[in-house]
Amino acid sequence: MKRIILLTLTALLLAPFAALSDTELSQSPNVLRNSTSVGVASNTSNGLADLADKIRPGFLLGSFAAGLNSVSNEDAILKDFFKHNFNIMTVGVYMKSTQFKKGVYDFNKADALVNFAQENQIRIYFHPLIGGVQYTPKWVNEGHFSTPELRQIMKERITTILNRYRDKVDYVDVVNEALDGTGLKPDGQFNWREKSTRGEHVWMKTMGMYQGKKYLFPQYLVDAFQIAREAGGPGLKLHLNEYDNASTQSLRGSAFLKLIQAMREEGIPVDGAGMQMHFDLKDGKLLEGGFKAGFDFGSFDAMLQEYAQAGIDVHITEFDIHLPLNPTEQDYQLQGKYYAEVLRHAIASPAVKSFKTWGFTDKYSWKPNNVDGHPLMLDAQFQPKPAYLMSLELLKTLARTPEGH
């Protein structure tokens, strides 16, 4: 009966709100970046998260905390927007930014963000405890540690962080980006990330492999999740985070779900799946992972349905849409359309528990290869873009309908 109710809710949320047509897009407000002040947007009594909770009680909507605790004249503006629109915050605890030396930690930024979140009833999502070479400081990557030494470094790191923030943090990406290629080898084993253009994956190389009942797993992955469960306690939700995994057509979509299921069968304590969802807009198409074919929302729904059937929670962890160089007003309008469309499908799926963007203002956005793709809800002057306004309007519409309650 519960499954029937959830499927009915999904159908009700999706069916009445078809994707915006080209005609509707052309008729939507031609919102310029300086047309509405961020104060007006942030002080609405129905911010994004409040509206989302009316549609699906318990659904979390938030962002990576990029830009918070910035220069003093900006900080109040950005915090005001955040607390009025979001109820979950991703806080970076990267090893290379929190551990410059062995045994020495810097938690000043994390402490300030966690305190702000607690003061405003905002959930905390940590990212990440362990990752590859680009997330690991030089002293580890070039330290030539033995396997026991490296495991002790891992154990001390995870235990120190999770003990410090015990009962304050709700979710954590224990491991980030473990898979490579399509995620699977021809023999059916998982294809693990062993290196990148920046060097070898030191945890993978040094700690070796663990032979499971059916699959080989990196020992670092097994150990990281086991240490995190012991240090964080049973209430902390442990996640594996990955990119190019949002649909059944995505490069690692099916392989990633298979991996989460395999970890559970092996007894590795993973609670949920992280979908990054970094997208690009090119020639009017929404692209994932550089594929020329536009992102297929039917395949997105199918992937989420597979997670729901498997009883695995999904968290959209790093959503953004990068625009072409010298974007036009039409590009911003399309960005807004797709922001709302992805959110609509996410909130309709019972599998998806949170939807988080990878920052919220273009001034502090992720700029891969130093290219500014203007990917977020607010522009660099903190003014709302169509990405914010269309998402807000979608949620208002869903919250007004009887089916949205």
pLDDT tens per residue across all 405 residues of the chain: 444 444 444 554 554 444 444 444 434 433 333 334 454 454 445 899 999 999 999 999 999 999 998 667 799 999 999 999 999 999 999 999 999 999 999 999 999 999 999 999 999 999 999 999 999 999 999 999 999 999 999 999 999 999 999 999 999 999 999 999 999 999 999 999 999 989 999 999 999 999 999 999 999 999 999 999 999 999 999 999 999 999 999 999 999 999 999 999 999 999 999 999 999 999 999 999 867 789 999 999 999 999 999 999 999 999 999 999 999 999 999 999 999 999 999 999 999 999 999 999 999 999 999 999 999 999 999 999 999 999 999 999 999 975 544
Alpha-carbon 321 to chain mean position = 13
Helix axes 329-348, 297-310, angle to 10 degrees: 30
pLDDT at 249: 96
Helix axes 253-266, 297-310, angle to 10 degrees: 10
Kindly state the tokens that stand for 7.
């499927």
pLDDT at 1: 42
Kindly state the tokens that stand for 246.
């949002």
Kindly state the tokens that stand for 42.
């942030």
Could you write out the three-class secondary structure of the chain? CHHHHHHHHHHHHHCCCCCCCHHHHHHCCCCCCCCCCHHHHHCCCCCHHHHHHHHCCCCEEEEECCCCCCCHHHHHHHHHHHHHHCCEEEEECCHHHHCCECCECCCHHHHHHHHHHHHCCCEEEEECCECCHHHCCHHHHCCCCCHHHHHHHHHHHHHHHHHHCCCCCCEEEEEECCEEEEEECCCCCEEECCEECCEECHHHHHHCEEECCCCEEEHHHHHHHHHHHHHHCCCCEEEEEECCCCCCCCCCHHHHHHHHHHHHHHCCCCCEEEECCEEEEECCEEEECCCCCCCCHHHHHHHHHHHHHHCCEEEEEEEEEECCCCCCHHHHHHHHHHHHHHHHHHHHCCCEEEEEECCCEHHHCCCHHHCCCCCCCECCCCCECHHHHHHHHHHHHHHHCHHHC
CA nearest neighbour of 161 among 220, 116, 94: 94
pLDDT at 17: 43
Distances (CA, A) of 159 to 52, 90, 174: 34, 19, 12
pLDDT at 7: 45
Range of the domain at 302: 2-404
pLDDT at 94: 98
Residues recorded for the chain = 405
Q: What gap in Å lies between CA 139 and CA 153, rounded to an integer?
A: 11
Domain count, the chain: 1
pLDDT at 290: 67
With contact defined as beta carbons under 8 Å apart, do 110 and 160 qualify?
A: no
Q: What gap in Å lies between CA 223 and CA 130, rounded to an integer?
A: 11
With contact defined as beta carbons under 8 Å apart, do 327 and 282 qualify?
A: no
pLDDT at 6: 44
With contact defined as beta carbons under 8 Å apart, do 353 and 315 qualify?
A: yes
For 69, phi then psi, to 5°, come to: 60, 35
With contact defined as beta carbons under 8 Å apart, do 315 and 275 qualify?
A: yes
CA nearest neighbour of 249 among 305, 199, 302, 198: 302
With contact defined as beta carbons under 8 Å apart, do 136 and 186 qualify?
A: no
CATH label of the domain that carries residue 38: 3.20.20.80
With contact defined as beta carbons under 8 Å apart, do 202 and 140 qualify?
A: yes
pLDDT at 22: 44
